[in-house]
Structure 1
Amino acid sequence: MKISDRLSLSFRNLLRRKSRTILTILSVLIGTVSIIMLLTLAIAMDKEQKDMIESFVGIENIEVTSSGMGNKINKSTFSKLKKINHVKYVIPYKDFYFDIKLKSDNKARLQANSGIKLIPDDIFKKIKPDMIEQGRALNSSDDLSMLIGSDVKISKFKKMGQYYQKVPVDKLEPLSQKYKLTLGYRGEALPSPSINNESKPQNIDVDMKLVGILNDKSFLDKNTVYINEKTFKSLEKEDQKLELKSLDSDNGQGNNKELFTSVSLVCDKYENVSGVEDEVKSMGYETSSSIQMIEDINKASKNIMLILGGIGSIAFFVSAIGIINTMLMSIYERQKEIGVMKVIGASVSDIKSMFLIEAGFIGFFGGLLGLLTSLLITLIINHFIGNMADPSGENFKLLIPIWLAILGVSFSSLVGILAGYLPAIKATKLSAIETLRSN
């Protein structure tokens, strides 16, 4: 029997029992939709978590701090770290946390979750033009100037019930605004006045200029305001005029003070972060990076995928039982037909392949319709739930990867063939004489 004859005969047999075929295909459809949608949800959750982590800190970054073993962060530390393989950038810095407000609106602030960082002038020279979204990078001659990451926004605090919430002011272009940085302490009790009884202010507003905004390609943190060494020295001069100093320039190290008190490493690839981190720890320094968090998330995501995939597989198992039941009933109804086929010369492989093809058809069409149904469901979810979470529609989206679409249809076809194997074997074992004698 030709393969085309087998296909034609199998297809006609399925159409003769339309109701049963449709119900069996429907069970496969439900199984396919279950496993595709559950795995798509797991993939979307995994991507959302990774994007969230990457938005706070670069996954190639390692923060290095002094340990309790007496190892200090100093210039010799920077030179040692530069020699480590796979370290692309060594960024010494010093942290500050001050208010930077708009001169035109005292309630609007330049909000940076990571505060202000003083970094060396030579680091700014490494910023390439394609890392700048607007404006330019800082240079050593810029005074009372700053550069901001892509996530630093102009915001206001608005009262929402009993709490205040940060609300971005999108209508204001950061580069076109004038800013003031407040040194000192506002509205707080200060120690007793200085011994010489000189009248000194508690705080000073220093005019600042924004020269540029970094984009996501930059190796610097996205949520930070950056200043150069000249700006820091100018702020130090202003700080000396205050009753209580707000710039701890010596970091408690007395005569051995260092201008930069912490350091951040940027590795060439995320895969090399773990090795670099181990080497830095062997030098006696403490480190922190996102690698452990990423690994934990990857592990949790794999577990979620396995759990959700297992739940979807149960529906597939039920579908397989439905296919087996359908094929067994078909054998009992077509005993004489099978007997006639054997008498006229049909081989065992012809009969077996015919039933396997029928079961495969059911699995394939059920999987294909399940994939189309899943695509429709994702469109509905993305349109309604996605837009409710974020008007831009970019906050959370379900996307079915091509590999999952192919796997879903292929797996459903395979389940159909495997489910039809036992009925096909049973059909081949029927005796031609007994089937012709049966009513």
Structure 2
Amino acid sequence: MRWTDYLRLGWDQLKRRLVVTLLCVIGIAIGSSSIIVALAFGESVTQFSEQRIGFYLKTDEIQIYPGQDSSDSAENKDSRSTSGAYDISKQKIEIIRSLPNVISIAPFNRLQYFNFTADSTKKGSAELIATDLTAMKDFGFELQQGAYQDLNNAIILSYGATVNLYDERTAAIRRTQSQRISSSREEEPLIPYPLYQKTILLEFADVQTDGTLQTVSFPVRVIGILKKPEGMPDSMVRYDRTAYISLELGERIQEAMQKSRSANRFVEKSIKAKVDSVEHVRQTEEWIRKLKLNTQSNLQRQESMQQEFVIVRLVFGGIGLFILFVASISIIVAMTMSTYQRRRQIGIMKVLGSNLRQIRNMFIVESTLLGLLGGIAGIVLSYWVIWLINIVVQKFSEGSSSEELLFISFWILPVGLFFAVLTGVLSGIFPAIKASRTDALTAIKRE
């Protein structure tokens, strides 16, 4: 017999037992689609975490802090202050800049939260960070308005620092609302205030020797507004209040804070180094630590997330394999029942000269067709599942991106189809052997 004969006979038998065929195909389709969805879920979320969660996990950046030695107090070790034995000097910055694979480096010294006043009445607050303003674009900062300029009396505000500014009247209304007990009260919408190219006053209160308060202010011009982070919900944007100033202005403000009797003098001094590739981050960190500096990156967080994704994929894959196992049992039962129902046909084939191998091949081809049909149906089903998941995610997501989160790569489809066909082949071995052992004369007489 030729293979075309096997295929024709197998297809005829599947059509005769249509209900059993559909049940077997559905079982295999669910199992293979589970495997395809598991692989697609792992690959899609991994790629999304590496490319789209940029403002949370910048894995190609290294945060560098002053080092500490064993003689430092526990308070100094915990505060990451600049009083440690191994400070970040200009010489060390130049050494780090010259390291292989380091493409950019800039200080990011965190001061404290400052209040600011715009247009004499509007008030807001932001955390000041002193840095090289022209190097911000190297670290993924994108401007909605303005341009990066290294000016002493300039400031760049985050989008969150420009929203919901208040005046005295608004502050009184908010205080009144906060005193009311209302669990159903919704958060106020984000209303940005136009601050670009305006002069604002950075302010902090200084207690004088006579006990009076004096406001120390620094006039600065807003030269840029950062873009609203893509995908960040409004509930987080309103708390993302940061402002970036030049290093020279940061030093002047720090000197004023040191002279003040009430201002918070704590400054978290650090620098950021951007590496050309994630693969070089670990080696670069080892080189920087040799300069007696502390480093921190998001590599461990990324690796832990990838491990979690592997667990999720294994869970989905295990569910798919279990469903395929159950489906294989149904195929074995269906094909075994088919051997009893077709004993006369098997007996006649043996009498006419069919050997054991041909009978076994006939049943294995039939079960393989079941696996192939289930695999094709599983591919269609997996696309439907991915489509539904994307619709649900886009409907309930607070982000404005319309891009699909999950996708199925081409290489995943042959994998799902392979497991489906393999299930069919393995499930057909036992019925094929049992059919080949059927006694021809006994089967014909009983029929």
- The TM-score with structure 2 as length reference comes to 0.76
Q: Which residue of 2 aligns with 1:373?
A: 381
CA distance in 2, matches of 1:208, 1:98: 18
CA distance in 2, matches of 1:105, 1:405: 63
3-state SS in 2 of match to 1:346? coil
Give yes or no for the alignment of 1:28 onto 2:28: yes
Q: Is the 8 A contact 1:138 1:145 kept in 2?
A: no
Pick from 117, 121, 124: which aligns with 2:129? 117
CA distance in 2, matches of 1:17, 1:432: 23
Give yes or no for the alignment of 1:225 onto 2:210: no
Summarize the Cα distance change of 1:135–1:49 in structure 2 as closer, same or farther, 3 Å threshold. Answer: closer
Q: Is the 8 A contact 1:389 1:395 kept in 2?
A: no
CA distance in 2, matches of 1:230, 1:283: 25
Give yes or no for the alignment of 1:146 onto 2:155: yes
CA distance in 2, matches of 1:164, 1:267: 45
Amino acid at match of 1:14: L
Q: Which residue of 2 aligns with 1:255?
A: none
Q: Which residue of 2 aligns with 1:183?
A: 203
CA distance in 2, matches of 1:105, 1:425: 92
How far apart are 1:20 and its partner, in Å?
1.2
Q: Is the 8 A contact 1:14 1:21 kept in 2?
A: yes
Deviations 1:58-77 (A, max 9, x none): 21111111122121111121
Amino acid at match of 1:336: R
Q: Is the 8 A contact 1:359 1:419 kept in 2?
A: yes
Q: Which residue of 2 aligns with 1:331?
A: 339
Q: Is the 8 A contact 1:363 1:417 kept in 2?
A: yes
Summarize the Cα distance change of 1:40–1:263 in structure 2 as closer, same or farther, 3 Å threshold. Answer: same
3-state SS in 2 of match to 1:283? coil
CA distance in 2, matches of 1:127, 1:89: 7
Q: Is the 8 A contact 2:134 2:148 kept in 1?
A: no
Amino acid at match of 2:156: L
Pick from 82, 86, 97: which aligns with 1:71? 86
CA distance in 1, matches of 2:411, 2:194: 43
Superposed, which structure 2 residues align to 1:34-433 within 5 Å? Answer: 34-42=34-42, 46=46, 50=50, 54-69=54-69, 70-99=85-114, 103=118, 109=124, 115-120=127-132, 123=135, 133-140=143-150, 142-147=151-156, 154-156=162-164, 161=182, 169=190, 172=192, 176=196, 178=198, 180-185=200-205, 191=207, 193-194=208-209, 201-204=214-217, 206-211=219-224, 213=226, 225-229=243-247, 231-232=249-250, 239=256, 244=261, 246=263, 261-384=269-392, 386-390=394-398, 392=400, 394=402, 397-433=405-441
Summarize the Cα distance change of 1:236–1:206 in structure 2 as closer, same or farther, 3 Å threshold. Answer: farther
How far apart are 1:178 and its partner, in Å?
3.3
- Tell which deviates more after alignment, 381-390 or 23-32: 381-390
Q: Is the 8 A contact 1:147 1:211 kept in 2?
A: yes
Please give the root-mean-square deviation of Cα atoms over the aligned residues, in Å. 4.0
Deviations 1:166-188 (A, max 9, x none): 8663x648674736243213xxx
3-state SS in 1 of match to 2:163? strand
Amino acid at match of 1:29: A
CA distance in 1, matches of 2:90, 2:273: 14
Deviations 1:125-159 (A, max 9, x none): x859x98554554333x34223356x756333986
CA distance in 2, matches of 1:244, 1:215: 37
- The TM-score with structure 1 as length reference comes to 0.78
3-state SS in 1 of match to 2:427? helix
Amino acid at match of 2:153: L
3-state SS in 1 of match to 2:149? coil
How far apart are 1:391 and its partner, in Å?
6.5
How far apart are 1:96 and its partner, in Å?
2.4
Q: Is the 8 A contact 1:32 1:408 kept in 2?
A: yes
CA distance in 1, matches of 2:277, 2:228: 19
Q: Which residue of 2 aligns with 1:14?
A: 14
Summarize the Cα distance change of 1:77–1:334 in structure 2 as closer, same or farther, 3 Å threshold. Answer: same
Q: Is the 8 A contact 1:339 1:431 kept in 2?
A: yes
Summarize the Cα distance change of 1:339–1:276 in structure 2 as closer, same or farther, 3 Å threshold. Answer: same
CA distance in 2, matches of 1:408, 1:22: 19
Summarize the Cα distance change of 1:178–1:421 in structure 2 as closer, same or farther, 3 Å threshold. Answer: farther
CA distance in 1, matches of 2:333, 2:310: 34
CA distance in 2, matches of 1:138, 1:45: 34
Amino acid at match of 2:90: K
CA distance in 2, matches of 1:342, 1:369: 35
Summarize the Cα distance change of 1:13–1:121 in structure 2 as closer, same or farther, 3 Å threshold. Answer: closer
Tell me, which stretches of 5 or more residues in structure 1 are unaligned? 217-221, 252-259
CA distance in 1, matches of 2:120, 2:325: 64
Q: Is the 8 A contact 1:110 1:152 kept in 2?
A: no
CA distance in 2, matches of 1:173, 1:341: 87
3-state SS in 2 of match to 1:296? helix
Summarize the Cα distance change of 1:163–1:85 in structure 2 as closer, same or farther, 3 Å threshold. Answer: farther
Between the aligned residues of both structures, percent identity stands at 22
CA distance in 1, matches of 2:275, 2:47: 22
CA distance in 1, matches of 2:296, 2:280: 14
Amino acid at match of 1:2: R
3-state SS in 2 of match to 1:303? helix
Summarize the Cα distance change of 1:367–1:99 in structure 2 as closer, same or farther, 3 Å threshold. Answer: farther
Give the count of matched residue pairs.
410
Amino acid at match of 2:129: K
Summarize the Cα distance change of 1:121–1:398 in structure 2 as closer, same or farther, 3 Å threshold. Answer: closer
